[in-house]
Chains A and B, each alone.
Chain A
Amino acid sequence: MKDPKSTRKHPHADRARSRVTRRALLSTAAASVAVPTLLDAVLSGQGTLYAATPSTTVNIEIDAGQNENPFRWKASEVKARWGFGINLIGLPFVGQYEKLVSELTARSTAYDVLVFPPYFLGDFVALNFLRDLDQFKGLGDPQLADYLPAYRDPVIKRNGKTYALMYDGDLLQVTYRKDLFEDPKERAAFKSKYGHDLAPPKTWDEYMEIAEFFHRPPNLYGTAFYAARGFCYAWFINIFAGLGGKWFEADMTPGINSEIGVRALTLLVKMKNFAPPNILQIDYPGLNAVFLNGSTAMVVQWDDLALKVENPAMSKVVGKGGYAPCPVRSYMPYSRVMAVSAFSKNPENAYRLAWYMQLPKVSVTYVYDPECGEDPYRYSHLKYDAVKNHLGKPTMSPAAARNYVDAIREGLKAGYPELSIPGAPRYLDILDLYVNQALAGALSPKAALDAAAREWKSITQAEDPGRQKAAYAAWIDAFRKAGIQY
C-alpha cells in the first residue's frame, strides 16, 4: 500500500532522473565526439609518427610480389649506410593506379617512395603527387648519362624536371624453344610447308606461321600471350607497332582503329587458335608457366622470362630457351620508376633510397636475378658478364647470356614507347577492355577498336584537347630526341 501523496513526487523524480540522464547524455555526447576524434588522430596520424621519427623508416609503395625483392636484398646495406630501415607496402599489380590516386588525392602520408609504371607519371605530375627530384641532386648524382636513352628523358622527366628514377626497364621479347627450332626434322618439315627456314620471326606473318606449325595440342601449343583483362592491350600494341601503327595522329585522332589497328587485332584474335584453350585466363604468371612447363613453343613475354627459363628451380626447359626481339618493333610496356611522394615526411631519405637502388653497381645486381622481375635500363647493364643474380652467381650459361643481352639490345633499338601522357591509364584501360572483348569474341576487331577510339576521343575532350595535343607532341619529341623512331 502506497502513500497517495507519494504520487505528487513523480514529476520531480522524473525531472531529477531526466537531469541526471541529461548529464549522462552530455557525457556520452562528449565521448562520442572525443572517441572518433582520437581514433581519427591515431588512424590519420601516421604522418605524425613518421615526422617524429623521420630517419628511422622509409615506406615504399610497390606492386606486391617478386618486385619487392631488390629492396629486401639491399635493406641491410641501406641501414648500414644511412641508419634508416625500409617498410615495403605491396599493392596489387592490377589496381595499383586506382589505389594510389585514391590515397594520394587524400594526401596520404603512408608512402615515401612510390614505385609505379611511368605511364602513371603524366597524371601524377599534373596532380602534384610527386616531388621534383632535381632539388635533391646534392644528396647524390643519379648518373643519368648511363641510362639507356629510351628510359631517360621520355620516361623520368616531365616539363624539363626529373620526377623519377628508373627501377625496371621493361621490354617485350620473343622467347622460343631453341631445341625445337634447331631440330633438323622440324626444320625440314617447316621448310617444306612454308618454303623458308625455321628461324626466330622477323615479321608477324612469320610469327603466325611458326605458331601454327608448332601447334600440336594438347602436348604442345604454338604460342601464348597475355590475354586476360589488365594487360592484353600490350600484346595488341606490340603487333600494332610492328605493323607501323601510331597511338594518335598529330591532331589527337586515335590511331588504334586505323586499318593497321584492325589488322593487328585480327592477327591477335587469330593467334588464339594456336594457343592453350584457357588463353583468356593467361596473365603474367600464367604466361611464364606455359613456357616454363614446356607446353608452348614460343611466346612474347616481358624479357625477364629468360632468367626464369634458365633457372632449374623454376623451369623444365633449362638450356632450351632462345631469345629474340619482337618482329619489327618491341613494345616497352610497364617498366617501373621510383619517385618521392609529395606528401612524404621523409623526402631526403626517400630520395637517398631511390638514388641508391638505381646506382649502376647496385642495380646491376638485381636486373638479372630470376627471383625478381627487374630488367636492364642502363648502358652498364648490357654486358654479357653482368648476367648474375644478386649474390654474384651467373644466372645462365655464357651462350644464353650473350643471346639474351643481344636480344635486349636489338629490341631496344626498335623499342616502341608506352603511352605516357595525362590520362594514359584511362586510355590504356579502355583499350584493354575492348581488346579483351574482341579476344572473348563479343565484338569484332573493328567494332572493338572503333568503340575504344570513341572513348579515347571523349577522354581527350574531357582532359582538354589543346593540352593533350601539346603533351603528346612533347612526349613524342622526347622519344625522337632519344633516337627512337616514331
Chain B
Amino acid sequence: MREDTGRRERGEGPSGPSPLRSSPGPASRRHLLSAQRRFGWWLLLPSLIMLAANSIFPLLYAVGVSTKAYQMLIPGPRRFVGLANYIQALQDPLVWHSLAVTLYFVGGVLVLQFPAGLGLALLLHRLPRRQELVATLLLIPTILSASVVGFQWVQLYNYEFGPLNYLLALLHLGQPTWTADPHLALPALIFVDFWEWTPFMTLLLFAGLRSLPPQIVDAARVDGSTPWQVVWRVFLPLLRPIIGIALILRIIMAFKLFDIVYVLTAGGPGIATESLAFYTYIQGFRYFNMGYASALSILQLILITILAKLLLRLTRRPPIGGFIPQEAPL
C-alpha cells in the first residue's frame, strides 16, 4: 500500500514510471514533499491540540499536583513535597488492601469471563443462522448503564425480598446476606461484572472466530482433529491476538472498578469491596486530599500500563505447537 502511494507520489504507474509523464526534478520533488508534509501537519494540528488539551495537559497537571501537599478544604498555598505522596501511598495499608481487592476482582472476573465468553462465542459460531440476532440479544447486559445494572442487582441481592434468596429458600439453601457479608460481597460484585461484561468478551471472540478462514478448520478436520483439538490447537493459537486485546480491555475496565461498588456496596461492608479506584475517589472527592489522590491515580496508571504491556508481549508471541503454518497454502 505504502509502496503504491510512493509510486503515485513519484508519478509512476503500478509497473514503473509512466512513459507519458515527465517526472519532476529533485528540487521540485523536495519542495512538493515538504509542502505535502506541512499540509499534513496542518491537518493534524486540531487533533494534536485536542489531544494535548484533553489528555496530555490533564495528565501532566495530575503529575504536578501529585507532588504537592494540596488539600482543597484547607486554605493555604500548595506546598511542593516531591515524592512524599507516592511514599505515603506505598506505606498506606488501605492502598494495599484496595489493590488486593482490585486484583482479586480482576482475577475473578477474568477467570470466569474468559472461558464463559469463549464457550458462548464457539456456540454462537456454530449457530447455522441468526447469529447476529443472538449476538445482539446477548449484548443487552453490556449496553445497560452501570446505575441500572446496580439497581437491578440491589433488588436481586435483597435479603428479604430478592428473588435470589427466595429461590434459595425454596431449595432450603439458606438466605445469604450477599452484599452485607464481608466474605460474599466481593464475589457478589464479581458475579455482577460477569453478568454484565461476559457478552462483551463473547462478542470480541466471536468476531475473531468469524475472521478465521474456514479452510483451516476444514483442513484440520480432514487431518483427523477432534473438535477439542480444533479448539485447542487451531482456534486458540490463531485467536491469540484477539484474546490478548479482549483480556487487556477487560483488565483495564475491571481495574477501574468503581461504578458497581458505588451503587451496590459503597466499598462496604467495612472496606471489603473498596477498590483502588474507589479509594482514590474517597481521598479525592470525600476528603479532598487532591495531592494524595493524584499520586494514587498516577500509580494506577503505571500499574495498568505495565500489566497491559506484559499481556501484549505475551499475546504477540507466535503460536506454539500449532500445526497450521502462518501462510498455509490452502
A residues adjacent to B (C-beta < 8 A): 1-2, 4, 7-8, 10-11, 14-15, 18, 21-22, 25, 28-29, 32, 94, 97-98, 101-102, 105, 123, 126-127, 228-230, 276-281, 422-423, 425-426, 429, 433, 436-443, 462-464
Contacts and interface: CB of A to CB of B under 8 A. Distances in A.
Contact of B35 (A18, A123, A281, A464): A18
A4 B22 contact: yes
Nearest to A448: B270
B286 interface: yes
Contacts of A22: 42
A25 B45 contact: yes
Contacts of A437: 269-271
B267 to A, nearest CB: 7
A280 B36 contact: no
Most buried by A among B180, B182, B266, B267: B180
Contact of A1 (B20, B46, B270, B288): B20
A229 B182 contact: no
22 contacts: A1-B20, A4-B20, A8-B24, A14-B35, A18-B42, A25-B43, A94-B266, A98-B288, A101-B72, A101-B73, A102-B285, A123-B73, A126-B73, A228-B266, A229-B269, A281-B179, A281-B180, A422-B73, A440-B182, A440-B268, A442-B270, A462-B74
Most buried by A among B28, B38, B75, B288: B288
A332 B21 CA distance: 92
Given A25-B42, A278-B177, A426-B287, A436 B32 contact: no
Contacts of A18: 35, 38-39, 42
Interface in B279-314: 285-288
A281 B177 contact: yes
A422 B49 CA distance: 42
Interface string B252-284: 000000000000011111111000000000000
Nearest to A429: B286
A278 B160 contact: yes
The A interface, classified by DSSP as helix, strand, loop or mixed, is helix
Contacts of B182: 440-442
B225 interface: no
B32 A433 contact: no
B187 interface: no
Contacts of A426: 73, 286-287
B266 A462 contact: no
Interface residues of B, number: 43
A126 B75 CA distance: 8
Given A14-B39, A25-B46, A437-B270, 20 more contacts: A2-B20, A4-B20, A4-B22, A7-B24, A11-B35, A14-B32, A14-B36, A15-B35, A25-B42, A28-B46, A101-B73, A229-B269, A230-B266, A280-B181, A426-B286, A436-B269, A440-B268, A442-B182, A442-B270, A442-B271
Interface string B42-73: 11011001100000000000000000000111
Contacts of A126: 73, 75
Contacts of A127: 73, 75
Contact of A280 (B22, B43, B160, B268): B268
B266 A229 contact: yes
B159 interface: yes
Contacts of B180: 228, 278-281
B42 A439 contact: no
Nearest to A105: B72
A97 B73 CA distance: 12
Nearest to B265: A229
A32 B28 CA distance: 35
B175 interface: yes
A412 B270 CA distance: 31
A413 B182 CA distance: 39
Nearest to B268: A229
Most buried by B among A1, A102, A126, A229: A229
